[in-house]
Amino acid sequence: MERTLSIIKPDGVRKNVIGEVIKRFEGAGIHIVAMKMLKLSKEDAKRFYAVHKDRPFYDSLTDFMSSGPIVVMVLEGNDVIKKNRELMGATNYKEAAAGTIRRDFATDIEQNVVHGSDGPDTAVVEIAFFFNQLEIYS
């Protein structure tokens, strides 16, 4: 059993597709074991995306991620890190496979609806960024 962090980004909340995204997770046999809605400050967003601090889009990305409420979730299931990445689709929605969340709902390479941890070590760090042990219901 594996866990990963999923975020419905501010554009996903604005596009009113929270339920649609969750439906895809549940339809794939993934369990949501923690969930909340919150708004990141610019500083929070910069800490969360610190790995991208030298990329040209860092300032714009952290402005976007702090521009409105997000929904953060811990997903649990077999091979859930990879499964979630498959459901999300490629970073650039134009390259994302048909039927993926980004292909269906993203309109921009930056405003691409969802975030998902990219590996087991990242998942541990990202889950701890948002949730404590008492907030996760396995």
Binding residues for ligand IDP (CB under 6 A): 57, 61, 91, 109-110, 112, 115, 118
Active-site residue 115, yes or no?
Answer: yes
Q: For residue 130, say whether it is annotated as part of any ligand binding site.
A: no
**CA–CA gap between residue 27 and residue 86 (Å, rounded):** 13
Q: For residue 48, say whether it is annotated as part of any ligand binding site.
A: no
Q: Which is nearer to ligand IDP, 31 or 85 (CB)?
A: 85
Given 115, 123, 126, 127, which residue is catalytic?
Answer: 115
Q: Which is nearer to ligand IDP, 74 or 96 (CB)?
A: 96
**CA–CA gap between residue 20 and residue 121 (Å, rounded):** 28
Backbone φ and ψ for 9, nearest 5 degrees, come out as -70, 170
93 secondary structure, DSSP code: G
Q: Which is nearer to ligand IDP, 84 or 134 (CB)?
A: 84
Catalytic residues: 115
